[in-house]
DNA sequence: AGGTCGACCTGGCAGC
DNA sequence: TGCTGCCAGGTCGACC
């Protein structure tokens, strides 16, 4: 799914279109994406509400409504939140929910695999997922000291730790591999065995990779699209993810792929120690 | 408590 | 052409 850079890109797109728009109609084409509330009630509750603000926490998009409620969208693996000026004549097969807005435009929720979820909650504190989420990478609280302290008790591979959202929010499979490549750290290293200078470097590279990915509007492996339905441009800057057998940009030895915690990891054995 | 694994879903693609 | 098996960006809950 979209990881932090992709979700941040979608958020920045939608913030240009949604605030001030009233939801006239909610059309639910597949009710399985609606969570924690009966779909009919979901549609009724949202009808007539106006978007006040759009924000992001981890990989979730938060739409604040004028009545104080929050529409939370988790895109998961294949979700897309796309704004469209007009309704497509033949709606995509993946379109699961259509929000008709007061200015005649539309917000479509598309999702091929139906892992994504739309929730409607009163208070953000009530949302269970946020309660367990670690700090935002760009937050000052996410710093080398915090990382060192958090990883002290974790014997898992550092790649798995980076992807653990209770440790730090927003990092998924693509960016975990990219961050470790730039940090020259072997993804198999145990998290609690990293030296202080390696932690400092990993922290710096986390911010560098995520910031660069946001500037390039994210990566599109298969399904990701931004708020306007366009692909991200970070793909050509990806150094290791999904590049098995390709030469490493530094030493030209082949990139290798391993499986950690059931997920693919890509790295250079020669450059990452 | 931390770690591991399967379940949740659909569709694209490689191999036969 | 058509089948089978494998793979995919995330999260959660059950279990050890």
Q: What are phi and psi of A199, to 5 degrees?
A: -65, -45
pLDDT for A222: 85
pLDDT for A213: 97
Strand C proximal residues, A:207-226, Cβ < 7 Å: 218-224
Tell whether the model's pLDDT for residue A221 goes beyond 70.
Answer: yes
Question: What is the distance in angstroms measured between the alpha-carbon CA of A262 and the sugar C1' of B11?
Answer: 20
Q: How far is CA A80 from the centre of its chain?
A: 11
Find which nucleotide's C1' atom is closest to A192's CA: B2
Q: What are phi and psi of A76, to 5 degrees?
A: 50, -130
Across the range A165-181, mean pLDDT stands at 97
A163 CB less than 7 Å from any atom of strand C? yes
Write out pLDDT tens, residues A89-110: 677 899 999 999 999 999 999 9
Across the range A123-146, mean pLDDT stands at 96
Dist. CA A63–CA A50, nearest whole Å: 10
Decide: A69 and A137 in contact? Cβ < 8 Å.
no
pLDDT for A1: 60
pLDDT for A91: 78
Other CB atoms within 10 Å distance of the CB of residue A129: 16
Tell whether the model's pLDDT for residue A87 goes beyond 90.
Answer: no
Write out pLDDT tens, residues A228-240: 999 999 999 999 9
Can you give the three-state secondary structure of A247-268, one letter per residue?
ECCCCCCECEEEEECCEEEEEC
Find which nucleotide's C1' atom is closest to A242's CA: C8
If pLDDT is split at 50, 70 and 90, which confidence band does A88 have?
confident
Question: What is the distance in angstroms measured between the alpha-carbon CA of A221 and the sugar C1' of B13?
Answer: 14
Residues of A with active-site annotation: 2-3, 59, 263
Closest residue (CA) to C1' of nucleotide C11 is: A76
Tell me how many degrees the CA angle A131-A174-A135 measures, rounded to the nearest 5. Answer: 25
Strand C nucleotides with an atom less than 7 Å from a protein beta carbon: 7-13
Does the model's pTM come out above 0.85?
yes
Question: What is the distance in angstroms measured between the alpha-carbon CA of A74 and the sugar C1' of B6?
Answer: 21
């Amino acid at each position: 799914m979209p990881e932090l850079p992709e979700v941040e890109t979608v958020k920045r797109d939608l913030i240009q279109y949604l605030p001030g728009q009233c939801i006239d109609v909610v059309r639910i084409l597949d009710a399985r994406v609606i969570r924690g509330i009966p779909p009919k009630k979901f549609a009724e509750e949202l009808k007539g509400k106006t978007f006040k603000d759009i924000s992001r926490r981890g990989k979730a998009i938060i739409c604040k409504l004028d009545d104080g409620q929050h529409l939370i969208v988790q895109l998961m693996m294949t979700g897309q939140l796309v704004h469209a000026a007009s309704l497509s004549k033949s709606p995509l097969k993946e379109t699961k929910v259509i929000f008709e807005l007061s200015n005649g435009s539309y917000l479509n929720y598309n999702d091929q695999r139906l892992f994504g979820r739309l929730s409607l909650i009163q208070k953000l504190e009530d949302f269970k997922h946020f309660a367990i989420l670690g700090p935002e990478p760009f937050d000052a609280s996410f710093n080398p000291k915090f990382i060192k302290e958090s990883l002290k008790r974790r014997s898992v591979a550092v790649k798995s730790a980076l992807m653990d959202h209770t440790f730090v929010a927003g990092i998924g499979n693509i960016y975990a591999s990219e961050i470790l490549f730039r940090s020259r750290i072997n993804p198999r290293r145990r998290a609690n065995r990293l030296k202080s200078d390696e932690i400092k470097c990993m922290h710096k590279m986390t911010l560098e990779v995520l910031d660069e990915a946001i500037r390039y509007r994210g990566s599109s492996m298969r399904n990701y699209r931004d708020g306007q339905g366009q692909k991200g441009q970070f793909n050509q800057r990806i150094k290791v993810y999904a590049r098995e057998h390709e030469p490493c940009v530094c030493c030209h030895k082949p990139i290798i792929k391993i499986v950690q915690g059931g997920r693919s990891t890509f790295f250079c054995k020669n450059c990452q120690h």
